[in-house]
Amino acid sequence: MKSDPIELLRGIERQPKERDADEQETSEWLDALEGVARVAGVDRVTFLLQRLAEHASHLGVSPAAHPYSLYQNTIALEAQPAYPGDLAMEERITSIIRWNALAMVAKANKAYGELGGHIASYASAAEIFEVGFNHFFHADSESAKGDLVYFQPHSAPGVYARAFLEGRLDEEHLNRYRQEVDGGGLCSYPHPWLMPEFWQFPTGSMGIGPISSIYQARFLRYLEHRGLADTSQRRVWGVFGDGEMDEPESIAALSLAAREKLDNLTFVINCNLQRLDGPVRGNGQIIQELESIFTGAGWNVIKVIWGSDWDVLFARDHNHVLLRRFAETVDGQYQTLGANDGAYNRTHFFDLDPELQALVSHMSPAEIDGLRRGGHDFRKLYAAFDAASKHRGGPTVILAKTKKGFGMGHAGESRNTSHQQKKLDVDALKAFRDRFALPLDDEAVAEMRLYKPADDSPEQRYLHARRAALNGYMPKRTTRAPSVPVPPLASYAKFALEPDARDISTTTAAVRLFTNLLKDKELGPRIVPIVADEARTFGMANLFRQVGIYSPLGQLYEPEDAGSMLYYKESKDGQLLEEGITEAGAISSWVAAATSYSVNGVAMLPFYIYYSMFGFQRVGDLIWAAADQRARGFLIGATAGRTTLSGEGLQHQDGTSHLIASSVPNCRA
């Protein structure tokens, strides 16, 4: 979008809120800045702007800079790499998968009424998924573990439809969508318990995927730094929705990812501007809001807003009238524009400004209708994925603008009802077929038949070749991990088998038990002690020195208690995860460790000690997700039962946490 550094700088100029008191002085500053950009480049400009901001702060001036950039693509057109695949082929395969996903859901609802299912979400995310599947998502190989992908749950039909083409699922599976009773069917969302060899991570409860993926990426570093596994080439990808970002858990750990420089982590947020009932931010711009949140948290942000069709218009728009108009248009209006055709868009967007009107005067309504959003453009998406995978020093988020229900036409494209759209009439299905040039006759469309090209077709050969280049098929869950011998009971529990006369609390006994286990040469290194900033409260301060607190930076300071026996010791190979005041973060670390046998092929044994009442209730959803993944570890409520601390509130009068814990089927309470 930004043809050169000068255009970048010019694009920053916005309509002033107040009249410029000295236009000549302003012009001189801008000319000087342009001169630096021409001679020394954008990096020098950035440096000078930072120094100016610092100096302004010294002068007592607080610059009111925007926390987000303009409403345009982050990666300039000339900075885009060449697309490495067969673009036409990938678009054709994506169209086939999009049809099969739609047909699978629509057919199920035609036969069984209100089974539900999500057509519109995958329709908006199909290109995002396919760029990942064709070029970036590495599967496990015989010699190394691959990438980890947290899939947007409402897009599960598209993942099934791709697996159908790959031969991993057959037509009978797809005909039993959301009919998984007695096995053989497909569950609505990623569900490892119901499909234990297919889905790796449950993401169906909004917000669980984002926080889990962050702590998963962090745990990969933990294993690496402790010398337990080589995870240096592995990446965690999370594909989530813009509406999902309203969940507190979705953004709760953003600062952790930046603070620990997790450049093995990439979020791709499908910004179709809609949640279940309507716009995510009808009166605002969710992409700009998310950019400010992620930028403030320290993430690298890449925006993919406009498709390649817009490039010519941007090149001709010397006065940046498009950028100004984009900035003034709220998401509710973008949705209305998206739900209507090119003629409507001409009248209600371009014709509102004479310069915009002239910009598209040569375009027909059909050509205007064909101006795609960036999240539906393979070239733009590939450039973003490629830049994210090469970025070093911190996590990256890709904000990809799409249309919910893309391709569904007036039956569901950018409609408030598109999330609930489960059935389409024959005319809508035919329009979908025609739009994506699918080789289906009217009878096949009416019957919503699945379409699978022949095994020796160019489409099938290409699809399998791309996955072979990335080590194989995914998602896939494995359970192979070398077993770790458990030491004899007497070696770590003698104090309980042969007790002395002293009374000790159950908390003290539990801590002593796993402290002794830590000393075992084989099992000890696999134990992961986890606390949410209450180690001293629970008598675990001795672990600070015994095994150290994990920090990817080591310890860059001398702790004030350095001279004491139990000083606060951080180290790069530390074993204790001291998470701070975040039960959600601590349980996410526990899940990553408790499922490591499956995810990493390295069996770990985590102990998470927490205040029982609000430790369990607050994160019950994440504990259910752990159960879904067959987690293996210990959750210890350190103040379970009625205590003597009644003056400190009901959380210290816990008589229910065991009942709550026992409601999780595979949690032994």
Average pLDDT over residues 486-512: 88
Maximum CA pair distance of the chain? 93
Work out the pLDDT band at 114, boundaries 50, 70, 90. low
pLDDT at 371 over 70: yes
pLDDT at 262 over 80: yes
Q: Check whether residue 285 and residue 434 sit in a common domain.
A: yes
pLDDT at 259 over 50: yes
Confidence (pLDDT) at 8 = 43
Confidence (pLDDT) at 669 = 85
The fraction of the chain above a pLDDT of 90, given in percent, is 67
Burial class (CB in 10 A: 0-12, 13-18, 19+), 408: buried
**Residue, of 179 and 530, whose pLDDT is higher:** 530
pLDDT at 18 over 60: no
Give, rounded to a whole angstrom, the gap between the first and last alpha carbons of the chain.
Answer: 57
Work out the pLDDT band at 121, boundaries 50, 70, 90. confident
Q: Are strands 605-610 and 634-637 parallel, antiparallel or unpaired?
A: parallel
pLDDT at 646 over 70: no
Mean pLDDT across the chain = 89
The pair of structure tokens assigned to 139 is 């599967």
pLDDT at 603 over 60: yes
Within a domain: 81: no
Q: Check whether residue 460 and residue 340 sit in a common domain.
A: no
The SS3 call for residue 304 is strand
Residue partners of 538: CB distance under 8 A and separation at least 6: 507, 511, 531, 609, 638
Average pLDDT over residues 625-652: 79
Confidence (pLDDT) at 46 = 87
Burial class (CB in 10 A: 0-12, 13-18, 19+), 630: middle
Q: Check whether residue 259 and residue 333 sit in a common domain.
A: no
Within a domain: 140: yes
Confidence (pLDDT) at 6 = 44
Q: Check whether residue 126 and residue 170 sit in a common domain.
A: yes
Q: Check whether residue 402 and residue 337 sit in a common domain.
A: no
Residue with tokens 């490629």: 386
Q: Please tell me the distance from the alpha carbon of residue 253 to that of residue 210, in angstroms, as a whole number.
A: 8
**Residue, of 378 and 616, whose pLDDT is higher:** 378
Confidence (pLDDT) at 327 = 92
Confidence (pLDDT) at 9 = 43
Within a domain: 73: no
Q: Check whether residue 377 and residue 351 sit in a common domain.
A: no
Domain count, the chain: 4
Q: Check whether residue 322 and residue 186 sit in a common domain.
A: no
Confidence (pLDDT) at 657 = 80
The fraction of the chain above a pLDDT of 70, given in percent, is 91
**Residue, of 62 and 581, whose pLDDT is higher:** 581
pLDDT digits (tens, 9 = 90+) for 267-312: 999 999 998 888 999 999 999 999 999 999 999 999 999 999 999 9
Confidence (pLDDT) at 460 = 98
The SS3 call for residue 627 is helix
Average pLDDT over residues 152-158: 93
CB 612 within 8 A of CB 654: yes
Q: Please tell me the distance from the alpha carbon of residue 147 to that of residue 135, in angstroms, as a whole number.
A: 12
Within a domain: 78: no
Residue partners of 644: CB distance under 8 A and separation at least 6: none
Confidence (pLDDT) at 173 = 93
Confidence (pLDDT) at 58 = 84
Lowest mean pLDDT among 108-112, 252-256, 272-276: 108-112
pLDDT at 14 over 50: no
Residue with tokens 């959803």: 621
Q: Check whether residue 289 and residue 320 sit in a common domain.
A: no
Work out the pLDDT band at 347, boundaries 50, 70, 90. very high
Within a domain: 565: no
CB 534 within 8 A of CB 639: no
- The domain that contains 274 carries what CATH number? 3.40.50.970
Confidence (pLDDT) at 412 = 60
Average pLDDT over residues 204-210: 92
Average pLDDT over residues 361-381: 96
Confidence (pLDDT) at 539 = 84
**Residue, of 480 and 474, whose pLDDT is higher:** 474
With helix as H, strand as E and coil as C, how does 182-207 read?
Answer: CCCCECCCCCCCCCCCCCCCCCCCCC
Work out the pLDDT band at 611, boundaries 50, 70, 90. confident
Q: Please tell me the distance from the alpha carbon of residue 381 to that of residue 271, in angstroms, as a whole number.
A: 13
Work out the pLDDT band at 618, boundaries 50, 70, 90. confident
Within a domain: 329: yes
Confidence (pLDDT) at 4 = 47
Confidence (pLDDT) at 409 = 65
Angle, vertex CA 337, rays to CA 335 and CA 343, nearest 5: 160
Q: Which of 168, 392, 406, 399 is nearest to 305 (CA)?
A: 399
pLDDT at 5 over 90: no
Q: List, in sequence order, every residue forming a beta bridge with 306; answer none if it has no partner.
A: 373
Q: Check whether residue 194 and residue 54 sit in a common domain.
A: no
Residue partners of 503: CB distance under 8 A and separation at least 6: none
Residue with tokens 């003629």: 343
The pair of structure tokens assigned to 466 is 């791309």
With helix as H, strand as E and coil as C, how does 404-415 read?
Answer: CCCCCHHHCCCC
Confidence (pLDDT) at 503 = 86
A 10 A CB-CB count for 611 gives 21
Q: Please tell me the distance from the alpha carbon of residue 211 to that of residue 626, in angstroms, as a whole number.
A: 13
**Residue, of 614 and 578, whose pLDDT is higher:** 578
pLDDT at 654 over 90: no
pLDDT at 16 over 70: no
Q: Check whether residue 302 and residue 437 sit in a common domain.
A: yes
CB 373 within 8 A of CB 305: yes
**Residue, of 157 and 277, whose pLDDT is higher:** 157
Provide the sign of the torsion angle of the four alpha carbons 476, 482, 484, 485, taken in this order. Answer: positive
Which range marks the domain in which residue 610 is found? 489-540+576-662
Confidence (pLDDT) at 179 = 84
pLDDT digits (tens, 9 = 90+) for 394-433: 999 999 999 998 887 665 676 665 444 555 778 888 888 9
Confidence (pLDDT) at 250 = 96
Within a domain: 82: no
CB 657 within 8 A of CB 611: no
Q: Check whether residue 185 and residue 281 sit in a common domain.
A: yes
Q: Check whether residue 355 and residue 494 sit in a common domain.
A: no
Within a domain: 482: no
